[in-house]
Amino acid sequence: MNLGISTWVWVAPLTTADLAPLAPRIARMGFDSIEIPIEGTQDIDYRQAAHSLRDNGLAVTVAAAMGADRDLISPDARLREQGVAYLQHCIEATQVMGGTNLVGPMYSSTGRVWQSTPVERERDIQLLVSQLKSLAAYASDHGVVLCVEPLNRFETSFINTASQAIEVIDRVSFRWPCSHRIVYQPGQDYRARGVNLAASRRESGCAGARWPCLPAQTAGLIGDSRQLIITRTVIRREPMTRGILIYRDENGEWCATCPSLPGCHSQGESREDAIINIKDAIEGYIEILEDVNHDAGLTVDEFIDLL
């Protein structure tokens, strides 16, 4: 099994200057590969990155970051076009850096959630399949495999499970290289379909995973030819727009979540209660971040002002 780690563990967004000291550090830690997220298309010199990876004996996986201006199934044609252009850029970057797998939520902008009827969902799936067919053909020409990654329901309303990802992949075509990546949860068996696993404490169900034992826990699940990537989201170096999502669940209870703080959720009997409780949750979250990362640089006010 190939054991890799994402640069998101240390920094976001990654730049060429960041990678220079990170690559040898990751190699010394004993990892086989590195996952490089591409957030801005001008952040990384891919040829220079390829030299750094080769010099340190590291394989590479590339992660696509689907921001608000990149969405393959948006009603806005401009966002769809930008999503396709961005993923084509990522495919080319993967080839230049010597990688094979391009992974990520290649369907909609991360953080966009919505409700849809079965008819509307089928329409969006058909649109996505059409987009991915073209992208998978482009990837095949560059020796790259697309790996569609489900996200939790707080980050997307579209693909939340491995079965939903497989449904899309099967409809794309067996001719094109297309796989999926799912987040590791203890106790699940992933041998039925070829996957790449991403292990992260930030995802639901992973809190029980013992990090030193992860390779042993997953080796029998994914096989020697597959890959386990350790990842988490770090506090970013530049200010972000931080929104709070407030909604009512199927039982009528008010829920609140902060998408930019993965796992930060709360609820209440009223909207006002949910707001009060999410403020408390954010304060606790920031305190924990400061314990492990003293230069986290967050304040509660930048969230509360948006409520």
Task: Say if strands 227-230 and 178-183 run parallel, antiparallel, or are unpaired.
Answer: unpaired
The token pair at 9 is: 């563990």
pTM of the model: 0.68
In the chain, the amino acid numbered 268 is G
Q: For 177-218, how does the pLDDT look when each residue is reduced to its tens digit (9 = 90+)?
A: 455 454 433 344 433 344 444 433 333 333 333 434 444 433
> Where are the domains positioned within the chain?
2-230, 245-304
The number of beta carbons lying within 10 Å of the beta carbon of residue 195 is: 23
**Amino acid present at 21:** P
Tell me if 103 sits within 8 A of 150, measured CB to CB: no
**pLDDT for residue 209:** 39
Percentage, residues of the chain above pLDDT 90: 38
Do the beta carbons of residue 282 and residue 303 sit within 8 Å?
yes
Encoded amino acid at 111, one letter: G
Read off the tokens for 302.
């930048």
> Identical fold at 2-230 and 245-304?
no
Class of domain 2-230: alpha beta
Helix (H) or strand (E) holding 227: strand 227-230
CATH 3.30.160 is right for the domain spanning 245-304: yes
What distance in Å separates the CA atoms of residue 282 and residue 266, rounded to the nearest whole number?
Answer: 9
Report the distance separating Cα 222 and Cα 216, nearest Å: 11
- Which amino acid belongs to residue 19? L
pLDDT for residue 300: 60
